[in-house]
């Protein structure tokens, strides 16, 4: 796996999970609040733990911490806030147990309001330490919005999962999220001052250079420098968000995942993967009220079946990519291309 | 590969493999075409209307060529020739920038493949303009249900990975199988002639609102058959659940509502 062409300026820790044998980092985001990010994170975490994996879920939403509650853990006194405030430098000591065997968490609760999100360098340090946690999986529950703090967690993960619901507001926010992640990744990948500036300009949709789409931007970057153009393409190709459509009610809702994937491909030039969907199910809200993941409180429910499948798919994909890596195959990606391979033309 | 609209070949436009079978192409067309409809959820917040129109034209053109065996074969020859060309980039559009290609008619192949612009056999029917139209144009029939799925095969792997539910067939499991095949309740109702309300009751396991067992068995069997699942696996399991529920909650009258609702 290519660690991704992260420029010197970016210095985000590479995707080393596979090689080092450390945990695999899975970030769950979605831009809009209320689409089910925390729901998906706790349920994937719980389903993986039940499948025998060692899982640590991390709540990075310091302003709206609630992961612990979704798992029935009373507001822990130790949390990520201690690390951010430099009161505790050993992440492992912030990990607390949950009622679910195999699943532990680092909460996002904070004892006093007003603590800012960690700055970029602190985040880089945090991300490097997350990779050293004693677990098979580290699931990162992201806050809403597209702040750079959120983006860094999403970009550095081995897998970035984007949750959306079949509603115009959610879809719009999902694209805003993707666009923000995409441009941040590009900016970190560019090494030249001129090309960085181009990316910055492109982020403004009303820019005067007429750069509207990533393809316009690529053309401009290539004109400026062929090497940077190559970096650009590599950065785009290394970015592979995984989509989950939540609150599915109809077959059309199911198709939304494919449609968004198509738009990603055609409009952003991005290969997204449609990881799966979760049916709308009253059991989910009942589970939240019971402060339990639905896969634990209602294991037979429709939603649990879907969530368990997604968890299993992630575990299987990882096992497969390890197997490939073991055989010494070239650059195994965690997610094998889902569709039939296309001939290069 | 990062390619703009003008650089995509017809296969890439429909997001299918070069050797895709006709049914896969039809399936992909319905899916991709639906994504760029005027008010389609996936596209409307990012893609300006005029650009979406360009996409739809491009998608229709790709489908016209790839769904016609003769045109497809001619097109494949052009692709092969382009791939074999000593051109350093092996790219028939090298030197043509996106806007030129778009002006040339929305097809990157406008110049590279003049043969393909020439008289294409007229589509037998007007090209389906939407997913709904595509469905309407090819009504579902029970016999061909197994090949009439609207979703790509990759989701089937999603389903199979979850086939740990054993022999028990529940209402939610039927619904999961239906959604996976891209079918709405209305599609199933049309194809099976079962009242959509009953289909919904079946999925929600509202056993008290369903008619007598003999009807339930028939409904479930028709439903399963449409989904391409062996009805003899599904119906007995579902009916057993229904009967068990009715035994457990005696209501002092014969179970099941009179058919006709």
The secondary structure of B81-101 as a DSSP string is: HHHHS--TT--TTTT--HHHH
Residues of B in contact with A171 (CB under 8 A): 41-42, 45
**Best residue of A172, A173, A280, A342 to probe chain B, by most B CBs closer than 10 Å:** A342
On whether residue B138 sits in a domain, the answer given is no
Which member of B150, B151, B162 has the closest CB to residue A309? Answer: B162
Decide if A246 contacts A35 (C-beta within 8 A).
Answer: yes
Contact B45 A305 (CB under 8 A): no
pLDDT, residue B109, reads 36
Domains and CATH numbers, chain A: 22-162+281-321 (3.40.50.300), 165-280 (no CATH)
Q: How far apart, in whole angstroms, are the C-alpha atoms of residue B65 and residue B43?
A: 24
pLDDT digits (tens), chain A, 345 positions: 444 443 334 445 554 444 447 899 999 988 788 899 999 999 999 999 999 999 999 998 888 888 999 999 998 888 998 888 888 889 999 999 999 999 999 999 876 666 667 777 888 888 889 999 999 999 999 888 878 778 888 887 788 999 999 999 999 999 989 888 888 888 888 888 888 888 888 887 777 777 878 888 888 999 989 999 999 988 888 888 999 999 999 988 998 999 999 999 888 888 899 999 999 999 999 999 999 999 999 998 999 999 999 999 999 988 888 888 777 645 444 444 444 333 333
Shared-domain flag, residues B10 and B100: yes
- Nearest residue of B to residue A248 by CA position? B179
What's the pLDDT score for residue A112? 67
Q: Report how far residue B79's alpha carbon sits from residue A110's, in angstroms, rounded to the nearest whole number.
A: 60
Q: In terms of CA atoms, which chain B residue is nearest residue A278? A: B176
Do residues B104 and B167 both lie within one domain?
A: no
| CA R_g for chain B | 24
Closest CA in chain A for residue B55: A266
pLDDT, position B220: 96
CB A309 within 8 A of CB B158: yes
**Residue among B16, B35, B178 whose CB faces A259 most closely:** B35
Residue B144 has pLDDT above 80, yes or no: no
According to DSSP, the β-strands at A103-106 and A96-97 are antiparallel
Mean pLDDT confidence for B174-197: 91
B166: alpha, beta or left, given left = phi > 0 and alpha = psi -120 to 50? left
What does pLDDT average to over chain B? 74
- On whether both B38 and B14 belong to a single domain, the answer is yes
Looking at the fold, whether B126 and B147 belong to one and the same domain comes out as no
Is residue B67 a part of any domain in this protein?
Answer: yes
Q: What is the structure's pLDDT at B165?
A: 64
Boundary residue ending a domain (B98, B132, B166): B132
pLDDT at B217: 95
| Listed residues B82, B100, B132: the one ending a domain | B132
Residue B229 to residues B20, B202, B235, Cα–Cα distance (Å): 24, 16, 10
Is residue B140 scored above 60 in pLDDT? no
Residues of chain A with C-beta less than 8 angstroms from the C-beta of B43 = 259, 263
Q: Which two tokens stand for residue B220?
A: 């479930």
B258 assigned to some structural domain: no
Sequence-distant (6+) residues with CB within 8 A of B246 are B207, B208, B255, B256
| Inter-chain CB proximity B151 and A255 less than 8 Å | yes
The ipTM (two decimal places) reads 0.75
The answer to whether residues B107 and B22 belong to one domain is yes
How far is C-alpha A237 from the geometric centre of its chain's CA atoms?
Answer: 16
Do B95 and B11 lie in a common domain?
yes
Q: Which residues of B116-151 are buried (b: 16+ CB within 10 A; e: fewer)?
A: beeebeeeeeebbeebebbbeeeebeeeebeebbbb
How large is the average pLDDT for residues B9-32? Answer: 91
Q: How far apart (Å, rounded) are the C-alpha atoms in residues B257 and B210? A: 6
Look up the CATH number of the domain holding residue B128: 1.10.287.110
pLDDT score at A19: 44
B156 in the same domain as B119: no
Return the SS3 of B104.
Answer: coil
β-strand A159-164 against A273-279: which pairing, if any? unpaired
Helix or strand holding residue A162 (H, E): strand A159-164
pLDDT at B141 > cutoff 80: no
Same domain, B155 and B67: no
Chain A residue with the nearest C-alpha to that of B185: A250
Enter the pTM of the model. 0.78
B120, two tokens? 């294409």
Of B107, B80, B105, B76, residue with least CA distance to B93: B107
pLDDT at position B98 over 70:
no
Q: Are residues B12 and B93 in the same domain?
A: yes
A35 Cβ contact list (under 8 Å, min separation 6): A163, A164, A165, A170, A173, A246, A247
Task: Report the candidate in A147, A185, A157 with the shortest Cα–Cα distance to residue A58.
Answer: A157
Domain membership flag for residue B121? yes
Check CB contact of B27 with chain A, cutoff 8 Å: no
pLDDT at position B27, please?
87
CA distances in angstroms from A258 to B147, B152, B259, listed in the order given? 19, 9, 39
Show residues of chain B in contact with A240, CB under 8 Å.
none
Nearest CA-CA distance, residue A78 and chain B, Å: 37
Name the nearest CA neighbour of A233 among A218, A213, A223, A217: A218
Residue B119 has pLDDT above 60, yes or no: no
Encode pLDDT of B208-235 as tens digits: 999 999 999 999 999 999 988 889 999 9
> B209 lies in which domain range?
143-248
What is the structure's pLDDT at B84? 84
Q: What is the pLDDT of residue B48?
A: 84
Say yes or no for a CB contact (<8 Å) between B182 and A265: no
Q: Are residues B158 and B188 in the same domain?
A: yes
- Indicate the pLDDT class of residue B251, thresholds 50, 70 and 90: low
Give domain status of residue B257, yes or no.
no
Q: What is the predicted pLDDT for the residue at A171?
A: 92
In a domain, B232, yes or no: yes
Where among B132, B153, B170 does a domain terminate? B132
B238 and B156 within one domain: yes
How many alpha carbons lie under 13 Å from residue A147 in its C-beta half-sphere?
Answer: 16
Closest by CA position to A81, among listed A112, A105, A55: A112
Domain total in chain B: 2
Model confidence at B150, in pLDDT bands (50, 70, 90)?
Answer: low
**A267 contacts B46? CB cut-off 8 A:** yes
| Domain membership flag for residue B159 | yes
Is the CB of B99 inside 8 Å of chain A's CB atoms? no
Tell me the C-alpha distance between B170 and B204, whole Å: 9
Query: Residue B171 sits in a domain of what CATH number?
Result: 1.10.260.40
> What's the pLDDT at A341?
38
Q: Which two tokens stand for residue A254?
A: 């199911």
- B117 with B179, same domain: the answer is no
Check whether B256 has a pLDDT greater than 70. no
Q: What's chain A's length in residues?
A: 345
CA of B245 vs chain A CAs: smallest distance (Å):
17
Q: Is B137 a member of any domain?
A: no
């Amino acid at each position: 796996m290519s660690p991704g062409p992260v420029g010197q300026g970016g210095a985000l820790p590479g995707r080393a999970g596979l090689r080092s044998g450390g945990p695999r980092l899975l970030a769950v985001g979605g831009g809009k609040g209320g689409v089910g990010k925390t729901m998906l994170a706790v349920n994937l975490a719980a389903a993986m733990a039940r499948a025998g994996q060692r899982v640590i879920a991390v709540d990075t939403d310091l302003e709206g911490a609630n992961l612990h509650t979704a798992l029935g853990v009373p507001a822990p006194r130790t949390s990520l806030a201690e690390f951010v405030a430099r009161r505790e430098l050993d992440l492992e000591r912030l990990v607390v147990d949950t009622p679910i065997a195999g699943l532990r968490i680092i909460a996002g609760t904070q004892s006093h309001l007003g603590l800012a999100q960690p700055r970029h360098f602190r985040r880089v340090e945090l991300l490097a330490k997350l990779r050293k946690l004693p677990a098979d999986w580290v699931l990162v529950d992201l806050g809403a919005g597209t702040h750079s703090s959120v983006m860094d967690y999403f970009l550095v993960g081995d897998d970035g999962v984007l949750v959306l619901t079949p509603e115009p507001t959610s879809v719009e926010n999902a694209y805003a999220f993707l666009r923000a992640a995409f441009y941040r990744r590009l900016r970190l990948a560019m090494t030249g001052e001129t090309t960085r500036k181009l990316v910055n300009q492109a982020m403004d949709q009303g820019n005067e250079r007429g750069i509207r789409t990533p393809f316009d931007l690529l053309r401009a970057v290539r004109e400026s420098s062929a090497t940077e153009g190559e970096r650009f393409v590599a950065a785009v190709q290394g970015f592979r968000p995984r989509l989950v459509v939540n609150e599915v009610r109809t077959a059309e809702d199911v198709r939304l995942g494919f449609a968004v994937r198509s738009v990603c491909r055609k409009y952003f030039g991005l290969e997204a993967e449609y990881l799966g969907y979760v049916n709308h199910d009253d059991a989910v809200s009942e589970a939240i009220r019971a402060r339990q993941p639905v896969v634990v409180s209602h294991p037979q429910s429709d939603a649990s079946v879907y969530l368990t499948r997604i968890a299993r798919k992630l575990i299987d994909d990882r096992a497969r990519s390890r197997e490939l890596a073991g055989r010494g195959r070239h650059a195994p990606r965690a997610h094998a291309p889902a569709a039939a391979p296309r001939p290069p033309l | 590969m990062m390619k703009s609209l003008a650089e995509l070949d017809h296969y890439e436009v429909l997001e299918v493999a070069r050797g895709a079978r006709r049914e896969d192409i039809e399936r992909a067309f319905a899916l991709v075409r639906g994504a760029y409809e005027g008010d389609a959820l996936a596209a409307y917040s990012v893609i300006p209307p005029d650009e979406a129109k360009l996409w739809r034209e491009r998608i229709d053109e790709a489908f016209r060529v790839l769904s016609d065996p003769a045109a497809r074969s001619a097109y494949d020859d052009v692709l092969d020739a382009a791939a074999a060309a000593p051109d350093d980039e092996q790219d028939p559009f090298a030197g043509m920038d996106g806007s030129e290609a778009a002006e040339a008619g929305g097809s990157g192949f406008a110049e590279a493949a003049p043969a393909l612009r020439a008289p294409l056999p007229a589509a037998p029917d007007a090209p389906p303009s939407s997913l709904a139209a595509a469905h309407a144009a090819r009504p579902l029939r029970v016999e061909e249900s197994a090949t009439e799925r609207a979703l790509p095969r990759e989701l089937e792997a999603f389903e199979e990975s979850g086939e740990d539910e054993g022999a028990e067939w529940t209402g939610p499991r039927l619904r999961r199988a239906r959604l996976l095949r891209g079918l709405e309740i209305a599609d199933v109702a049309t194809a099976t002639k079962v009242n959509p309300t009953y289909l919904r009751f079946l999925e929600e396991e509202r056993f008290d609102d369903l008619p007598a067992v003999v009807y339930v068995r028939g409904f479930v069997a028709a439903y399963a058959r449409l989904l391409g699942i062996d009805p003899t696996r599904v119906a007995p399991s579902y009916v057993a659940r229904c009967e068990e529920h009715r035994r457990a909650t005696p209501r002092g009258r014969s179970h099941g509502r009179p058919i006709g609702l």
